Structure 1
Amino acid sequence: MKYDNNRPPMAVILAAGIGSRLSPLTDKSAKCLLSVGGSVILERMIRNCLSCGMSQFVLVLGHRAEEIKQFVDKTFRGIRVTYVINDRYRDTNTGYSLMLASSVVGNAEFIKFDADVVFDTKILRGLVDSALPNVLCIDRNIALADEEVKVIADEQLRVSEIGKSVDPETALGESIGIEKISAVTGPLLFAELKEMMESPAHAQDYYEAAYARLVDKGLPFHALDITGLKWTEIDTVEDFAAANAKFGSPVMTVSRGQQRAMDEADANAQRRK
């Protein structure tokens, strides 16, 4: 696999938001510190990254930043983590938060995570191992509406449009909030975000708006079809209940060899049925 011998990408986790739609669960807790299936959401994400060989982390924080820092420092002693603070988290959005990570990321390849996404490690392994430079994880099996970030792609899964305003009828599926950005594209993405954020009118833009601008300029973005694998985004109390139903056990850090053995055991069990 691609990253068995090469340096894996950096993890950039956006965790600055308030999570007001999850009230009262978030009245006294950061959203990413809620527990799903016996593990804290952020812990699941970081352990999944460690399972895929990723060891460098950038966390963009805002709301309850100190609480999140204390949790990570206590739970993951010795990992390489840099904290970036979005002091404007109340009046900005994910585009501004991602822009703030630019000075730490530099020219490194990275995978960007929304901190409220809970996902199966197999999704991340597929993304890390993809030979393509800029990749969005897409689920086709989603009822698309105004809220979802929708993607249009051709037969080779090259993206031509991305955003909430994309016509659901022509969309391939939903972008789940996990993307790989190449070392070449990263500086171009950050420059696009910086230009956008110079105008107060763009303060509330999502980072996908910058992806869309790069796509319009001809930069290649591709979709990785993760349909059928487990994931969920947690925005509401109903989402939180659904996540606990879907992910029923605590997360473990699992090596590639261990994952391969578990997959083989599952396949053998299916054949015996």
Structure 2
Amino acid sequence: MKNEINRPPMAVILAAGVGSRLSPLTDNCAKSLLSVGGSVILERMIRNCLSCGLSQFVLVLGHRADEIKQFVDKTFRGIRVTYVINDRYRETNTGYSLMLASKAVGTAEFAKLDADVVFNVKILRQLADDRRADVLCIDQNIVLEDEEVKVITDDQMQVLEVGKSVDPKRALGEYIGIEKISAKTGPLLFAELAQMMQSPARYQDYYEDAYARLLAKGAVFHVLDITGTNWTEIDDADDFAAANAMFGTPVTTVSRGQQRAIDEAAAKPIRA
């Protein structure tokens, strides 16, 4: 029962960006509404969340917000979703977008997902079941360069540093844009973001910068190593092609009990 208590009920999805590096694919379509493996990216993400018991959603939108709202309302009739609009999406970044979710989230525990990440549902299932309070998903099987958000940990998998400027030689792996934030840390995170965004000079900061500031103040974050499980962030045409190669079939909503039965059946030896 302890796992059930710790499982976050809410998913915060950041989907405000333009996706200009995917042009011309995004010239007339929001990035999150592109199709990968027969399923729209955002549909795949929401279905994965529903499969893991996350039943409430906060979507932070900006570019082509009306189109995304119409798609979600039509595809997922009856789900509990709050739309938050970032009117400054062209001049701000993920830190500003996440800050705007503060009122909708309140003091609830939540999973935060970047809308341009396509992932195997097993990642989210492991994260939801993790007993630890504040957890970032990382992949060790990545060539770390300047673009990646890198994470340094101690021997107990506790985060020491996080960010793009982290020394790749000391980093354990790449943070993949999926994490779990506890009810205790959430208000501290939103307060940190609000303080950062008082200055327009920080509008382009990433939310990971707030995590780094919280770490410096003594906050504790851990990592969940998802190395070997399929996922990809979609930034450009090469990423989009890789995602379609990795995820070749449409997603379906599978309950936890159904997934357990599938896994048990797959584990049984085949009799001649």
> Alpha carbon RMSD of aligned pairs, Å?
1.5
Provide the residue aligned with 1:219 in structure 2: 219
Mapping of residues 7-156 of structure 1, within 5 Å: 8-156=8-156
Aligned residues: 272
Provide the residue aligned with 1:168 in structure 2: 168
1: CA distance, partners of 2:6 / 2:183: 14
The unaligned stretches of length 5 or more in structure 1 are: none
Any conservation in 2 of the 1:13–1:112 contact (CA below 8 Å)?
A: yes
Q: 1:136 to 1:189 in 2, by over 3 A?
A: same
Any conservation in 2 of the 1:60–1:84 contact (CA below 8 Å)?
A: yes
Q: 1:2 to 1:117 in 2, by over 3 A?
A: farther
2: CA distance, partners of 1:157 / 1:100: 30
Q: Give the CA deviation at 1:261.
A: 1.8
Structure 1 runs of 4+ aligned residues shifted over 3 Å read 1-8
Q: Which amino acid aligns with 2:138?
A: I
Q: Give the CA deviation at 1:40.
A: 0.2
Q: Which amino acid aligns with 1:207?
A: Y
Q: Which amino acid aligns with 1:179?
A: E
2: CA distance, partners of 1:6 / 1:163: 26
Helix, strand or coil for the counterpart of 2:21? helix
Any conservation in 2 of the 1:9–1:128 contact (CA below 8 Å)?
A: no
Any idea what the Cα deviations from partners look like across 1:118-150, whole Å, max 9, x if unmatched? Answer: 011110011111111100000000010000000
Q: Give the CA deviation at 1:268.
A: 2.9
Any idea what the Cα deviations from partners look like across 1:35-83, whole Å, max 9, x if unmatched? Answer: 0000000000000000011110000000000000000000000000000
2: CA distance, partners of 1:69 / 1:3: 32
| Length-normalised TM-score, structure 2 | 0.97
Provide the residue aligned with 1:195 in structure 2: 195
Q: Give the CA deviation at 1:210.
A: 0.1
The unaligned stretches of length 5 or more in structure 2 are: none
Q: Give the CA deviation at 1:259.
A: 1.1
Q: Give the CA deviation at 1:267.
A: 2.5
Any idea what the Cα deviations from partners look like across 1:97-118, whole Å, max 9, x if unmatched? Answer: 0000001101000110000000
Q: Percent identity?
A: 77
Any conservation in 2 of the 1:2–1:129 contact (CA below 8 Å)?
A: no
| Length-normalised TM-score, structure 1 | 0.97
Helix, strand or coil for the counterpart of 2:232? strand
2: CA distance, partners of 1:208 / 1:2: 29
Provide the residue aligned with 2:259 in structure 1: 259
1: CA distance, partners of 2:54 / 2:43: 14
Helix, strand or coil for the counterpart of 2:118? strand
Any conservation in 2 of the 1:2–1:130 contact (CA below 8 Å)?
A: no
Is 1:185 equivalent to 2:150 in the alignment? no
Q: Which amino acid aligns with 2:47?
A: R
